[in-house]
Chain A
Amino acid sequence: MKKYAMVVDSSVCIDCKGCMVSCKVQNNVPRGYWRNWIKQTTPDFSLGKLTRTHFQPGGCMQCDVPTCVQACPSGATFKDQETGIVHVNESLCIGCGKCVRACPYGARFRHPEKRVPDKCDFCFSAGRLAQGIPPACVDTCPTKARVFGDLNDPDSEVSRLLRDNHTVRVTSANIDTQPNIFYLAATEPANWPGDVEFPQSFSVMASLVNPLVKVAVGLSALGVAGMWAKQAFAPDSEDDEQGPEASHPEPTVSKQD
């Protein structure tokens, strides 16, 4: 069993956007959408010669408490126990869009043609991990700001980085999603995850049942509601058309544990 994670040294990111293009090509991400991003602080020019900008790479956090999984009524979104990666099973997806809203990071978008959610899966479905090559963003990065590996392997680079360094997790205010992207300390900005918009009707059940049960539930009991939701989601809503930068509600206070 693996637990894939990314440790990001945002202090060395030069905002070249190589990771964004590499990901886009590898995963055929359509125009106007991104699976990963670079956020940045707003420079304060009153600091004169000491004015700085901090660039912070991000993407789906492969959360240990994935609110997207909890919000998904059909079990299409699930956390793979073998790898720790949160996936979307497109054939089970009813297109309700709840996972997109439930992710506090804006990591998901609705694929405009496939009409199902899309997001980073550490290049698993692109076949890179099976071949022993790192995710496209990690591979291409000039400064190797992004480091990828298996936390269950104590000799992996990510394990070593976590052992030897102070790291922080950037998470939402109302629910600690326990993300698996770790930032070496002093990352900025840290106030960008929004609140989890959690669909009440499903929340209790979602947190109780395991993904397999949810599959069954999604296909039967929730089927009717799900089909209705797919209709509702289908017309383009402004929010969901945007990439992660724009699709997100106002940032709220973050919590670092």
Chain B
Amino acid sequence: MDETMKTLSRRNFLKASAAAMTTAAGVPALKGLVSTGHAAAPAPQAGPITDHFTACDMCFNRCGMIARVQNGRVIKLDPNPKFLKSRGMLCARGNAATAHIYDPDRLKHPLLRKGARGEGKWQRITWDQALDHAAEQFERIAEKYTRCGVMFSPGSDMQSQFLIRFAEVFGSYNITSHETLCLLSLHRAYLDTFGETPYPDVLYSKYIIISGANPYEAIITPDTIDLMEARKNGCKLVVLDPRYTKTAALADEWYAIRPHTDMAFFLALAHVIIHEGLYDQQYAEEMLFGLDELRAHVRKYTPEWAAGETGIPADDIRRIARELAAAAPTSMVYTGRRTSDYEDSTQIRRSMAIVNALLANWDRPGGILAAREVGVRAPYFDIPWYDDNPDDRIDYGMAPGLIHHEGSYKLMRDAIIKGEPYPIRGWFTFKTNFMQTAANRNKTIEMLDHLDFIVNADIAMTDTAWYSDLLLPSPSFLERNDPVSALQGSSACACAIWRDAVVPAMYESRDMLWICTELSKRLGFPETFDFDIHQYREWQLAGIPEAAQAIKEDGVYYNPSKVYGIYADSPLRTQAQKIELFNQRYANMGLDPMPVYKPPRPTEGKFRMVVGRTAFFTHSNTNNALLIEFEEENTLWIHPEPATRMGLRDGERVFVTSDVAQVELALKFFEGIEKETVYMATGFGALSPGQRLVHNRGASIAEVLEDHADYITGNMAMHETLVTVSRKVG
């Protein structure tokens, strides 16, 4: 059976892979796992082991988990095999959630700041004192500066909806989410092209171009897993990235594209597809708006021209365009992550969306899919009117394509510092850490100087917590009952989940529903939170009464709703009611109706810094005893050629200087990075000594990143940062 190493035939490879997946799907979920002894094994721990369904919270993916509990302790987390969104897997971060909940650095009691902000002097207080204090401060700010004088940052938690409800009833429009550092420009681009944000149907695709995103390493479910499965079935993968990521390492072709030239590549693809007539004419007639304008627009964007911008040979660009079109409509430009990159990121994403439109892959297998019906309702509540409130959000009108319910953290921060158009003096943050996730940390600190009162609810002493006035300890996701959450993703799922506490809440931690309930009593609107979690879930599931049982039995409910052809009989939600290659609204607003390429600003001997994720850290979740073993501190990746020219040595410590800060960390020579580009991992160099594993270790990318913004959405534009690298003297 075992033979000499030979190249495996395609057929055998497929068989093997198919078999491997079958095993995976067949793993039984078990009840009452009991440890067994063995003559040679160490004595088993006492107590039976019980299993509980839950969903991971180490990143936003919410993969299905089975928590194994013994003697009141979570001893192991395993994947829920029935959870299609995560395809029965848990990544390294999910597995390390045990170290997250039993982290000795956890916040344990409400704490009130005593010394100066950031000084680290805290006084332990009771919950009653904490809530009274918070309510008093909110009322004081509301009275003096209106209710919009308090900003709310609800994070991406399953309980965030309670804080949003609270904020809206309290009366503030100034709610800002994590999306403002992430996917806003992607949403905008697809909203303005297709009428909604799509989900890539990776599993059934035959040809995928990924530009910027890094699904094999950053892990997004089910795309990461489906991308491997699709490739076993013959899907070709082309990756454009100035950095040799794991996705690049496993791709069929990887191009170390010059940063900020992606749009040139996609306009050239459009050029080839249109001018060689490689698109579906009938489809174009029925579905596309503005093809003639686009044809004229992309005439000058030839592959030869794009080669000069991107560094990718014209022959390759032309060939890729033809291959992509040949595989259409079962091919795609991956819609992507990491879209908070450039000042024209909405237009860059528009250029990708336009290529997708030319592939006719919208709402079709192996293409990009519309959101499916899940059936979870958002319980209704009355939003009161406050006469003295300003007319709108503080960042209203500052970006033409601002997404109203997300705002722009970058623009809000600037407005708060200026005190215009009106003052904001309070901040309520929940499980989000702008100090480590938003560009230009010093500016966030500057913003704090304009705030009178900052309350932060979180599980850990993050940098944002460290600079707050009042800390409310939160339970981990394994210690609380969460409302229903609807999930989408690929063709795999339109599903609903909830979480029940797997172990009791530790220390004095309290969940957001409880906090909002208590605060609403103190602030005079108790009727907003006159329900318990079970009642709330019932309201949410009123339209799908069968869901509750499924969630109890399998940890997840799937809605058998339509996957493809959702728009078969209805017009798209764009102004033209078709796919807008040419965007009429942009034209009216004085924006380019089609993406116009602008070359990157010259680096002038500096390096462009890019951001990225590893499979074992997510944003600022690095303070984890299990995960930190893979990378004890971050390094600055640099190509050996420019580095050597500058007289730098591999491993030496350097200063990295941008227009906003200077940080210090060790160099890592790596040929897998474009020569004008440098990279460092997120989540290190924490200011907070309450995160012992990352405090002063490595450097904070949030500190050195300059705070540019996408001019359409106000999304952070992190890749606009240019830095110098210099030897650390002395």
Asked if A177 lies at the interface with its beta carbon under 8 angstroms from chain B, I say no
Interface string of B80-93 (1 = CB under 8 A from A): 00000001011110
Contact of A132 among B30, B42, B92, B96 (CB under 8 A): B30
Choose from A90, A131, A162, A256 the contact partner of B1 (Cβ within 8 Å).
A162
Partner of B615, one of A17, A24, A121: A17
A134: interface (CB < 8 Å) = yes
Q: Which chain A residues (103-149) contact chain B, with CB distance < 8 Å?
A: 121, 124-127, 130-134, 136, 139-145, 147, 149
From A163-171, A199-207, A228-236, give the one contacting chain B: A163-171
Complex alpha-carbon distance, A80 and B40, angstroms: 10
Check if A20 is an interface residue, CB within 8 A of chain B. Answer: yes
The answer to whether B13 and A157 have CB atoms under 8 Å apart is no
Taking the closest CB of chain A, its distance from the CB of B31, in whole angstroms, is 10
**Interface residues on chain A, size class:** 35 or more
Tell me, in angstroms, the Cα distance from A184 to B11 when the chains sit together. 13
Q: Is B13 a contact partner of A11 (Cβ separation < 8 A)? A: yes
Q: Give chain A residues whose Cβ lies under 8 Å from the Cβ of B33.
A: 127, 131, 133
Q: Does B550 sit within 8 A of A, measured CB to CB?
A: no
From the candidates A125, A133, A147, A190, name the one contacting B38 in the complex (CB within 8 A).
A125
Do residues A16 and B2 form an inter-chain contact, with CB atoms below 8 A? no
Is there contact, CB below 8 Å, between B5 and A185?
Answer: yes
Q: Is the CB of A22 within 8 A of B95?
A: yes
| Contact status A164-B34, CB under 8 Å | no
Q: B228 near A: Cβ within 8 Å?
A: yes
A18 and B90 contacting across the interface, CB-CB below 8 Å = yes
By a CB distance below 8 angstroms, the chain A residues around B30 are 131-133
Indicate whether B390 reaches chain A with its CB closer than 8 angstroms.
no
Interface of A is mostly: loop
Whether B23 lies near A78 (C-beta < 8 A) is no
Q: How far is the CA of A185 from the CA of B8 in the complex (A)?
A: 6
Instruction: Write the nearest CB–CB distance from A143 to chain B, whole angstroms.
Output: 5
Asked whether B12 is an interface residue with its Cβ less than 8 Å from the other chain, the reply is yes
Pairwise interchain contact A89-B90, C-beta atoms closer than 8 A:
no
In the complex the two chains form, what is the Cα distance from A126 to B94 in whole Å? 19
A139–B27 contact, CB under 8 A? yes
A253 at the interface (CB under 8 A from B): no
Chain B residues positioned under 8 Å from A52 (CB to CB)? 249-250
- Is residue A224 within 8 Å, beta carbon to beta carbon, of the partner chain? no
Q: Nearest B residue to A80 by beta-carbon distance?
A: B40
Q: In the complex, what residues of B have CB within 8 A of residue A71's CB? A: none
A1 at the interface (CB under 8 A from B): no
Q: B24 at the A/B interface (Cβ < 8 Å)?
A: yes
Q: Is the CB of A161 within 8 A of B19?
A: yes
- Are the CB atoms of B21 and A185 closer together than 8 Å? no
Query: Contact between A140 and B89 (Cβ–Cβ < 8 Å)?
Result: yes
Instruction: Say yes or no: is B7 at the interface (Cβ < 8 Å to chain A).
Output: yes
Encode contact with A along B206-245: 1 for CB under 8 Å, 0 otherwise.
Answer: 0000000000110100001100110010000000000010
**Is B281 at the interface (CB under 8 A from chain A)?**
no
Known interface pairs A25-B626, A184-B13. Does A139 touch B39 (Cβ–Cβ under 8 Å)? no
Minimum Cβ distance to chain B for residue A152 (Å): 13
**Residue of A with least CB distance to B628:** A31
- Per a CB cutoff under 8 Å, which of A45, A127, A160, A166 touches B671? A45
Q: Which chain B residues in 21-58 approach chain A with CB under 8 Å?
A: 21-24, 27-28, 30, 33-36, 38-42, 44, 49
Which residue on chain A has the smallest CB distance to residue B7? A186
Is B460 at the interface (CB under 8 A from chain A)?
Answer: no
Expressed in whole angstroms, the minimum distance between the Cβ of A156 and any Cβ of chain B is 9
Interface centre among A25, A131, A157, A161, by most B CB within 10 Å? A25
A53 adjacent to B615 (CB under 8 Å): no
Interface set of A (CB-CB < 8 Å, partner B): 7, 9, 11-12, 14-18, 20-22, 24-26, 31-32, 43, 45, 49-53, 78, 80, 87-90, 121, 124-127, 130-134, 136, 139-145, 147, 149, 157, 160-169, 182, 184-187, 190, 256-257
Q: 14 more A-B contacts (CB under 8 A) besides A142-B91, A185-B6?
A: A7-B16, A9-B16, A14-B246, A16-B246, A18-B91, A50-B253, A51-B249, A52-B249, A125-B40, A140-B95, A142-B87, A149-B23, A165-B12, A165-B15
| A to B CB contacts below 8 Å, 14 in the list | A14-B216, A14-B228, A16-B219, A17-B616, A18-B89, A52-B249, A52-B250, A53-B250, A125-B40, A136-B78, A144-B89, A157-B19, A161-B16, A166-B5
10 cross-chain pairs, A with B, having the tightest CB-CB distances, nearest first: A125-B41, A127-B35, A53-B249, A89-B40, A21-B95, A16-B615, A130-B36, A142-B89, A87-B40, A162-B1
Identify the B interface with A (CB < 8 A). 1-8, 12-13, 15-17, 19-24, 27-28, 30, 33-36, 38-42, 44, 49, 75-79, 87, 89-92, 94-96, 98, 216-217, 219, 224-225, 228-229, 232, 244, 246, 248-250, 253-255, 316, 615-616, 625-627, 629-630, 671-672
